[in-house]
Amino acid sequence: MCSEPPLASVAHTKEIRTNAGIFAVHHLAPSFFRGFAWREGGGFFIADPEKALVDCLYVSTFRGRRFSHFPELNLSESFDFKKAVAWAAFIKSGAALKHVLKRLAEIKMGAGRK
């Protein structure tokens, strides 16, 4: 279980402490804040796996080591790298886009995909 579940928002990055736990809220540019679906029965929005990975890679551009290494990453065969690249195309910062695409390529190679 994640000790600080990551959340995405257009608000500033911050940490929220509640009785339920500590939540890390990470800023996404408004133009990139999309790709979330309502989770039936859960009462919250959640990103699909491709968007979630791209979000983490995007945040790692600005937050460094904390989001740069994913030893627990286990991508299913259904993970669609083309879909992830399509999500990355919404990143307006050239440096961030370059970083995300580079990391996606590294992860894809590490997963043994062509």
Q: What is the pLDDT along the chain (114 residues), one digit of tens a residue?
A: 345 556 666 667 778 788 888 877 777 777 767 777 777 777 777 888 999 899 888 888 877 666 666 777 888 899 999 999 999 999 998 999 999 999 999 999 887 776
DSSP string for 30-84: GGG---EEEETTTTEEEE-HHHHHHHHHHHHHHHGGGGT--TT----TT--HHHH
Compute the distance between CA of residue 49 and CA of residue 29 in angstroms, rounded to an integer.
19
Cα R_g (the chain), whole angstroms: 14
- pTM here is 0.72
